Structure 1
């Protein structure tokens, strides 16, 4: 099972795409700023922060929305006419920005820390840090995104969607997350999402 998982990740990580120009990306980023903020730090908790996110991850997700592989109705009109070069440039720009720190709910930290760093052996939930790293910085070469500092509201929504089986055709990463989230409880989702929002403090 693990062999198949990592093989899928290797195929994603080694896909060849152009390296973007951050300066050009800044000039093109107005299309994203209304929702994600000029520097990638969205002010609305339902919309993800993309500041500091790995450029390859951002570009891949954006291409999937543009190509209608990943349904995001609010985003599609914004990206439908972007070229691969545009997407690479914009992604490179946001990757160079700094994610604004978040704060975890102290009442949820103990459970959130336990799930993030150790998972739940009884229910078969793996530790989040196995893929996203002990400080939530992700593993760029394997396609695992940065999660530290992310809005808890956004993370919790994504985890609930994964738990419900939402995955995208041709995207092994989302299929992996469906398996990871399958046995998470609502309480665990809320706790680990809050913990990740404040995970920058672990650095």
Structure 2
């Protein structure tokens, strides 16, 4: 990783931490934290049509937000707002957000409990699930995302994420099309054959672990 890229990565992470930290009011202060209720209403008006009222998206290629951590959510919103991630719909929405909006939306997203994926029409392919589990261990997915794939802080929850979105994301990181605020994912995936990425997506989307609320935001 180049020193310049590392500096940018550290700067983005630092900005996200600062934005979240500023959401907590000082002792004795009133009314300085974004009202959760107002952002619940704004989420319903702005986000739910694509991401689902409960954070479980039914739209192709659109990620489920249920169970995501506020640090991860605010970092992605910041990347969209600053033009570091390329998605016309998300960029158009994020560009209208002030810092307090980034905090408000990300804090509300963190309250959305994980929603299990709908049961598949057919039982998962046992051999492919075993292969996916082995790939997750071999390529150290569990080191960052956790044994239950629930993530934490700036690492996203990926357990039972939409399979099509996982495929797009994994292939995007592998080719460099999907930017991150570090090169960790690109480096981890660069040598993995595309068919193995599809198997990983298959396994993660059907991850058998029970849904659970993140241990922290």
Band the TM-score falls in, shorter-chain normalisation: 0.7 to 0.9
Deviation (angstroms), 1:90? 1.4
The residue that corresponds to 2:13 in the other structure is: 12
The residue that corresponds to 2:134 in the other structure is: 114
Aligned residues: CA RMSD: 2.5
Deviation (angstroms), 1:155? 0.6
The residue that corresponds to 1:123 in the other structure is: none
Q: 2:102 aligns to what SS in structure 1? A: helix
Residues 135, 200 of structure 1: 8 Å contact kept = no
1:103-126 deviation digits (Å, cap 9, x = unpaired): 58324201110011x22xxxxxx2
Matched, 1:178 2:192: no
1:135-172 deviation digits (Å, cap 9, x = unpaired): 011121xx211111100110111110111122537x11
1:39-88 deviation digits (Å, cap 9, x = unpaired): 21110231000111001111110111111111111211222211111121
| Larger CA deviation: 178-187 vs 154-163 | 178-187
Of 27, 45, 53, 2:60 maps to 45
Change (3 A) 1:177 1:31: same
Residues 13, 75 of structure 2: 8 Å contact kept = no
TM-score norm. by structure 1 comes to 0.81
Change (3 A) 1:150 1:159: same
Matched, 1:145 2:153: no
1:145-200 deviation digits (Å, cap 9, x = unpaired): 1111100110111110111122537x11xx21111110122221111112111225
The whole-number CA distance in structure 2 between the counterparts of 1:202 and 1:37 is 20
**Count of residues paired in the alignment:** 187
* Structure 1: tracts of 5 or more residues without a match: 120-125
Change (3 A) 1:10 1:63: closer
